Amino acid sequence: MTHDPKSPVGHNRESRLFYQSRSRRPLIERSEGVYMWDVDGKRYIDASSGAMVSNIGHSDPRVIAAMTKQLEKASFAYRLHFENDAAEDLAIRLADRAPGDLERVFFVSGGSEAVESCIKLARQYALAKGQAQRTKIISRFPSYHGATLGALAITGYTPMHAPFAPMMVDQPKIPAPTCYLDRDDLSDHDRGIKYANMLEAEIIKQGPETVLGFIMEPVGGAATGALVAPDSYYGRIREICDQYGILLIYDEVMTGAGRTGKYFAAEHWGIVPDILAVSKGLAAGYAPLGAMIAPDRIVGPVLDHGGFIHGYTYAGNPLACAAGNGVLDVIEEDNLLENASTNGAALKDELTKMADDFAMIGDVRGKGLLLAIELVKDRDSMEPIDPKHMAAARLVDIAYDMGLIIYWRRTRGGYRGDHVMVCPPMTITKEQFADILVPLRKALSELQDELEV
């Protein structure tokens, strides 16, 4: 069939695209700030910033102007032929904002590529130091670090592994600090230490001389529902990595670029990781962009030992980096870190209040505007809802029909329980909260009715 570009648009538009399933969503017409409109004129509030990407809201004219200016100057300059100012500037700005000695920036086009780069750098650093036996990266279960085979191997999500298991080297995992489920008498501090010490036990089990590094999301993403560990966890993890000479890799693909109220979440605990991955909010959806940031003490030996054997065609893409610079300008001009912090806390309070009316809200957690609610059978038991109901996915669908976008997550298999992410752009105002909270309350009531049937 030949495609007629004038064929009817809308929900039934002919398509040759495919993603994960046969399900289809309406066509987007336009977006502005925290709102999006489909071609039928229906308005949605983007209370998940897409997939926690659109941190500065949609269609900001300042970013569009920065990108247009770059396009008019040079649309593409391949890194083996030319340097470009947009990438150089953004690298300097990221190095200035990154924790401690993280000062060398390697650009990529997304989160999986950023994590993949961290794995490759860690390995090549070990080789440069003559430690070829170091091949393992310990990670947490549950966790999400990306879809490419390397990033998938360190991802703690079993169903995504299944088809590829014979093609992949599975990497060791320790439990993520899901302290909110623990029913012991430990203090928060001791519980944090208990979970962190699981890393030490795993390193010893694997043989410290075989381990390259440990990777963690400082605040969990969709895999754990914005999981925040007790403060003591972060320092103890750093200590263990130092003690065994193991690289600490922070996956800030979701938490980086301001979402938790600091430019990098590591700052909340004063931690300097050895390597850091950032993506989503970096160009905030205006262009595909990610970065690995590492210190010269790691990059230098790799560059001197045969070079970094890794890279992508779109590395340091001028248009994507111009978007990144434009996004950073907006974050700073509009004081969006402060907004993520204060309005994030205010939104979390509202969600916590909502839990008074719904026993199925087991927990409300997160930091800044990286927030999630966990759905359970009832809060007292914290028993999970029977996975056959796919409760989180169902809530997301009910809300979507009402024009409220919250983040989808598959329930069945791999993870315990149901949670949905509530993560509007960092530009959200308190006046706009009602556009999230009113439909969310209605959607929760509908879900509750359905589950009781």
Binding interface with ligand PLP (CB under 6 A):
51, 110-112, 115, 144-147, 217, 221, 251, 253-254, 279
Is the CB of 376 or the CB of 421 nearer to ligand PLP?
Answer: 421
Least distance (Å) between residue 392 CB and ligand PLP: 16
Residue 293: helix, strand or coil by DSSP?
strand
3-class secondary structure per residue, the chain: CCCCCCCCCCCCCCCCCCCCCCCCCCCEEEEEECEEEECCCCEEEECCHHHHCCCCCECCHHHHHHHHHHHHHCCCCCCCCCCCHHHHHHHHHHHHHCCCCEEEEEEECCHHHHHHHHHHHHHHHHHHCCCCCCCEEEEEECCCCCCCHHHHHCCCCHHHHHHHHHHCCCCCEEECCCHHHCCCCCCHHHHHHHHHHHHHHHHHHHCHHHEEEEEECCECCCCCCCCECCHHHHHHHHHHHHHHCCEEEEEECCCCCCCCCCCCHHHHHCCCCCEEEECHHHCCCCCCCEEEEEEHHHHHHHHHCCCCCCCCCCCCCHHHHHHHHHHHHHHHHCCHHHHHHHHHHHHHHHHHHHHCCCCCEEEEEEECCEEEEEECCCCCCCCCCCHHHCHHHHHHHHHHHCCEECECCCCCCCCCCEEEEECCCCCCCHHHHHHHHHHHHHHHHHHHHHHHC
CA distance 142 to 174: 9
Q: Which is nearer to ligand PLP, 282 or 336 (CB)?
A: 282
Measured from the CB atom, is 104 or 280 closer to ligand PLP?
280
- Residue 220 CB, shortest distance to ligand PLP, in Å, is 8
By C-beta, is 191 or 259 nearer to ligand PLP? 259
Residue number, 60 or 251, with CB nearest to ligand PLP: 251
Residue 344 beta carbon to ligand PLP: minimum distance, rounded to whole angstroms: 18
| CB of 290 vs ligand PLP, minimal distance in Å | 7
Q: How far is the CB of 429 from ligand PLP (least distance, A)?
A: 26
CB of 191 to ligand PLP, least distance (A): 23
Least distance to ligand PLP from the beta carbon of 143, Å?
Answer: 8
Query: Nearer to ligand PLP by C-beta: 283 or 376?
Result: 283
Q: How far is the CB of 257 from ligand PLP (least distance, A)?
A: 12
Closest residue by beta carbon to ligand PLP: 111
Cβ atoms 114, 250 nearer than 8 A: no
Instruction: Specify the residue, 35 or 144, whose C-beta has the smaller distance to ligand PLP.
Output: 144
Contacts for 166 with CB less than 8 Å, ≥ 6 apart: none
CB of 453 to ligand PLP, least distance (A): 33
Which one, 110 or 366, has the nearer CB to ligand PLP?
A: 110
Per-residue tokens: 187: 């203090």
Closer to ligand PLP at the Cβ: 98 or 361?
A: 98
Residue with tokens 């996004």: 327
Question: Percent helix, strand, coil in the chain (nearest 5)?
Answer: 40, 15, 40
Smallest gap from Cβ 149 to ligand PLP, in A, equals 12
**Shortest reach from residue 189's CB to ligand PLP, in Å:** 26
Q: How many CA atoms lie within 13 A of 365 on its CB side?
A: 20
